[in-house]
Amino acid sequence: MIYVATITESIEAAKEVLDRGELVAIPTETVYGLAGNALDVDAVLKIFDTKKRPAFDPLIVHTHTLKKVEELVRTIPLAARQLAEAFWPGPLTLLLPKSELIPDLVTSGLDTVAIRIPKHPMTLELLAILDYPLAAPSANPFGYISPTTAEHVNQQLGGEIELILNGGEAEIGIESTIIGFEDGNPVVYRLGGYAIEEIERVAGPVKVFPHSSSNPQAPGMLKSHYAPRKPFYLMERGQLAQDQSVSTGYLLFDRYLPDVAESDQLLLSPTGDMQEAARNLFSYLRRLDQLSYAKIFAEEVPEIGLGRAINDRLRRAAAH
């Protein structure tokens, strides 16, 4: 395949493309996003079309200051403001009552908009010079592994978009935590880049909402998601795949299986570091998917810190 997207570090070049109503892949601290003018319905339609994303799955809106957020929503509850002040810029998305500025297409007809302030300095600089916020889901074909480098985007969408803003490898490697509010109380709709323990230090105990299989209330809630193209299965920690008749690649947490060639195994973090494991998750899934294995097995990681978000992605990748 011939990739034709321009990969650049020029923020002005990205602005020029976005101002024309076209799409740009942008770096964030979580994953790369496929960005367009969130207030331009035609640009938003291009996002759905390019990703082949169903229109019932809402998009996340990105801006650069809390003041700008206030212009895009009707109100910010006290609990939401406390979370915003504690965690923005960063991998936190809040579901807030949308203002009339936000097209219904962005929110899939919902009355709330998913919104965040990303931490990546290059994208913050871009947002600061734009006259509009950016709608930006992950820059990958719908349902596939999220991209954590500019080259990942180029491999998947390089023939369909004009420009990729290269901000290096994503620091966190999994998508943002999404929090909504029921009767003023925070509810986690998607596990992500902030561990539940971090959220609860600010917000107190929170309810974690199970993902849904249709009509999601927030972006990234579909049951099957983040999946490689090859058959992908979960296994018990330290367990060998029962069927050894075909070549198998393994995605493991911190230790190799003794009866398998180490060349067929990737460790998310040999030292058991959950941040390193999260950062490597999508990149290693992609690597295994591109090698000659007939199937891929992965083990879940301990349910601590970002481990819950990692396991959420693994379970959904295996859901099909």
Q: pLDDT-based confidence at 209, cuts 50/70/90?
A: confident
Instruction: Give the DSSP H/E element, type plus range, for residue 18.
Output: helix 11-19
Q: pLDDT-based confidence at 214, cuts 50/70/90?
A: very low
pLDDT of residue 238: 76
**In this model, does residue 213 exceed pLDDT 50?**
no
Binding residues for ATP: 53, 112, 138, 146, 190, 226
Binding residues: 30, 53, 62, 112, 116, 136, 138, 146, 176, 190, 226
**In this model, does residue 1 exceed pLDDT 80?**
no
pLDDT of residue 224: 58
**In this model, does residue 258 exceed pLDDT 50?**
yes
What's the pLDDT tens digit per position in 25-43?
999 999 999 999 999 999 9
Q: pLDDT-based confidence at 320, cuts 50/70/90?
A: low
Q: What percent of the chain has pLDDT over 90?
A: 83
- Average pLDDT on 87-95 reads 98
pLDDT of residue 244: 67
Name which of 146, 99, 149, 100 is nearest 120 in CA terms.
149
**Which range, 164-178, 223-237, 244-258, is most confident?**
164-178
**210-219, 221-230, 246-255: range with lowest mean pLDDT:** 210-219
What's the pLDDT tens digit per position in 50-78?
999 988 889 999 999 999 999 999 999 99
Q: pLDDT-based confidence at 211, cuts 50/70/90?
A: low
**In this model, does residue 96 exceed pLDDT 60?**
yes
Max CA distance (Å), the chain: 59
What are the helix (H) ranges across 143-298? 150-157, 196-203, 274-290
**In this model, does residue 180 exceed pLDDT 50?**
yes
Give CA angle at 303 (301, 304), nearest 5°.
110
Instruction: Write out the two tokens for 37.
Output: 């003018």
pLDDT of residue 40: 97
**In this model, does residue 215 exceed pLDDT 60?**
no
Is 232-317 in the same CATH topology as 6-208? no
CATH 3.90.870.10 is held by the domain 6-208: yes
Single pTM value for the model: 0.91
pLDDT of residue 230: 92
Name which of 97, 128, 100, 102 is nearest 39 in CA terms.
102
Q: pLDDT-based confidence at 259, cuts 50/70/90?
A: confident
**91-100, 208-217, 223-232, 309-318: range with lowest mean pLDDT:** 208-217
> Of 18 and 2, which is predicted with more confidence?
18
**d(C-alpha 48, C-alpha 44), whole Å:** 7
Q: Where are the domains of the chain?
A: 6-208, 232-317
| Average pLDDT value over all residues in the chain | 92
Instruction: Write out the two tokens for 152.
Output: 């990942």
Binding residues for L-threonine: 30, 62, 116, 136, 176
CATH 3.40.50.11030 is held by the domain 232-317: yes
Other residues' Cβ atoms within 10 Å of the Cβ of residue 21? 12
Phi, psi of 124 (to 5 degrees): -60, -40
Instruction: Give the DSSP H/E element, type plus range, for residue 6.
Output: strand 6-8
**In this model, does residue 263 exceed pLDDT 90?**
yes
